[in-house]
Amino acid sequence: MHDDTSEPVPRDVITAPEREPVFIYPPDEEAFPEPKGSLVSGPILRQALIGSVRKLDPRVQFRNPVMFVVLVGSALATVLFTASLVQGDTARAGFGALLTVFLWATLLFANFAEALAEGRGKAQAAALRATRRDTEARVRTPGGELVTVAGTDLKVGDECVVAAGQVIPGDGDVVEGIATVDESAITGESAPVIRESGGDRSAVTGGTTVLSDEIVVRITTPPGETFLDRMIALVEGAERKKTPNEIALNILLGGLTIVFLVAVVTLQPLAVYSQARQDTIVLIALLVCLIPTTIGALLSAIGIAGMDRLVRRNVMATSGRAVEASGDVTTLLLDKTGTITHGNRQASEFLTLPGVSDGELAEAAHRSSLSDGTPEGRSIVDFAMAGRPYLNGRTADRGVMVPFTAESRMSGLDDGAHLIRKGAVDAVARWVRENGGEAPDRLFSLAEKISDQGGTPLAVAEVPEGGGPARALGLVHLKDTVKPGMRERFEQLRTMGIRTVMVTGDNPRTAAVIAKEAGVDDFLAQAAPEDKLALIRREQAGGALVAMTGDGTNDAPALAQADVGVAMNTGTQAAREAGNMVDLDSDPTKLIEIVHIGKQLLITRGALTTFSIANDVAKYFAILPAMFAASLPGLERMNIMGLASAESAILSAVVFNALVIVALVPLALRGVAFRARSASAMLRRNLLVYGVGGLIAPFVGIKLIDMLISALGVL
């Protein structure tokens, strides 16, 4: 493998503006805050209210065993209340009416939480659908003629000619030409990008607009299955399936519901034996309060909101399983260039060989870089002119530019007999020898010194104007700096038990220096595609869950193998199909943010489950003593809250059970605040805040509601 000096610089690197991620420290603060904006808007709220009523359909509720039991109980309570009303038992009817209202409210609030989460996704889907236009495509026939057809009639393999100002009619790859493309309708990023045939920058998305030049696009996806169509379906939740953890938790909640159902059903014979027969509507209230209605109501909303948080950060996940897996990741594979480092290596020093003046090296490097449009080339020109006024104003109109190639690993200038070359040290040394010169040992020792400092050595040599043997002039020190805050971020990941591995094409010496400076746990140098795949398989064989990013066709096998494969939107169609997430911003650093969102999803689910189960204890102390205090006076000691009456205690518990769902909806949608801590520390915090809080809150809430009911005299 060769080092980074041998890699041609993509055109996007030249034209696209730099966009650096923002890291917020100290580590105890949330590193990736929720994008600004209100949690819901008026239209979303209205749609959620309508949706909460529509979801009363038993076929919908049957998918959630906890809430299905609440539905059946609410319907039965309605029948019992109506019967009391018909019989003229006004006292019993009034109490039954209040219980029935809040039982239905519990169900509606649960539906509202899910509908609200879905509504945010549907609003985003509507915005995406507005960008999709019916287009006409100019299809090139095998004979070379252009035929205009509707975009909906395109077939896989059709070649469409798209000129400046026209909309790309479907997903595909550029097979001819080069053009700038406006992808703001998909990514939200206003800066245009370069798309060209060949390489890893050929994929285009239907619905984007060509701004300049003309390209030929070969369609790779049939209409109705395009990337934009899949985005719309995903954010609407139409293709959302329950994740394995969610299914397991649903089974647990269903089991608890059955246990409490059996317990409540068998309670009546015991009550009859104790001469304390209970009204059926009271037993229904007891059942609804004791089963885990809080987490049962919010579980679906938590999962949908997790997907939504990714979408709000311009990441599309193909399934909830991918989001959940990101929260369980234990190994993170990160590219060095552009992720850990800035990627644009800058000239920082000229190192001359014996017998060569600083001016000679600077002038040769300057001339050979005047036509070099790469960031490295421009930085050499700027660095050479700094403090050397005589170089200002010089142009590249003299001589013939020798372009960089992967085979030669050099570029340069031919001006008659005067030849200049700059490039990889071994390649330039070989060129010097081929042209009758000698490459001194000093050249290689200086190169090792630069590599030991984490830089990239770029050798400069020339054949003098008067002819003669070539000679090496010296080295340009190209330095790629680590992005600020990366060491702290990796330390946070390490605290969470996540191992970080830097993947780079650099030589091992350079890679080791950068890895030490950045603070990663390990690195893979001179990495070929098969090396990445082998590394992922080794990690998975050891029980690790692996996440990585990629954008090229050569990354597709590794993306498919990884548990979380994040493909860049600017990458090839193969990469996007292989990954289970697509980053619309094409920012490799976002992988760290994706892991954060996955962790937050799992923590939110765990925290609210803990709270839901814990607050059932307080309801037990509220309802059971009230139910049997009259016939079993000893149970009065358990009325530790001092509730006014049996009816007030039961009604207060049911009201609290309904209201707590509404109170927790914002937390379910936004997610529990996430901090980079170890698993044991997070568990302790979870138990302290949501376990103890789940025990205390109902005692306080039920008592306050009881006091309000007594003050209003509603019973």
Residue 530 annotated as lining a ligand binding site = no
User: Reduced to 3 states, what is the DSSP secondary structure of residue 584?
Assistant: coil
Distance CA(572)–CA(552), nearest Å, equals 6
Pair 313, 600: CB distance under 8 Å: no
| Per-residue exposure over 602-618, b if at least 16 CB sit within 10 Å of its own CB, e if not | bbbbbbbbbbbbbbbeb
H or E, element range at 264: helix 244-273
* 55 marked as part of a ligand binding site: no
Burial label, 513 (beta-carbon count in 10 A; 0-12, 13-18, 19+): middle
**Tokens representing 652?**
């207060």
Task: With residue 378 as reference, give the H or E element that holds it.
Answer: helix 375-385
Buried b (16+ CB within 10 A) or exposed e, 219-249: bbbebeebbbbbbbebbbbeebebbebbeeb
The backbone region for 567, taken as left when phi is positive above 0, alpha when psi lies in -120 to 50, beta otherwise, is beta
- Quote the CA–CA distance of 310 and 694 in Å, as a whole number: 29
| Whether the Cβ atoms of residue 502 and residue 522 lie closer than 8 Å to each other | yes
404 annotated as a binding-site residue: yes
Cα end-to-end span (Å), the chain: 82
Phi and psi angles of residue 468, each rounded to the nearest 5 degrees, phi first: 105, -175
Is 376 annotated to bind a ligand? Reply is yes
Q: Order of strands across the sheet with 546-550? A: 315-317, 581-583, 564-568, 546-550, 331-335, 499-503, 522-524
Tell me: is residue 28 an annotated ligand-binding position.
no
Q: Is the peptide bond before 26 cis (omega within 30 degrees of 0)?
A: yes
Helices and strands (H and E) in the chain: how many: 24, 21
Check if the beta carbon of residue 456 is closer than 8 Å to that of residue 424: no
422 assigned ligand-binding residue: yes
Euclidean distance between CA atoms 366 and 370, whole angstroms: 6
Judge whether 411 is annotated as a binding position.
yes
89 is catalytic: no
What is the phi-psi region of residue 694: left when phi exceeds 0, alpha when psi lies from -120 to 50, beta otherwise?
Answer: alpha
Q: Which pairs with CB-CB distance under 8 Å and at least 24 residues apart come from 83-89?
A: none
User: Does 369 count as an annotated binding residue?
Assistant: no
Amino acid at 324: E
Whether 410 has a binding-site annotation, put simply, is yes
The answer to whether 551 is annotated as binding is yes
**336 marked as binding residue:** no
The token pair that represents 22 in the structure block: 């923002």
Among 505, 517, 565, 570, residue whose Cα is nearest residue 340: 517
- Looking at 4, 158, 308, 335, which residue is catalytic? 335
Q: How far apart are CA 97 and CA 102, in angstroms?
A: 9
CA 555/CA 576 separation, integer angstroms: 10
Enter the tokens of residue 437.
């010169």
Distance CA 659, CA 709 (A): 15
Binding residues: 372, 376, 404-411, 422, 551, 555
Binding residues for ATP: 372, 376, 404-411, 422
Binding residues for Mg(2+): 551, 555
Catalytic residue positions, numbered: 335
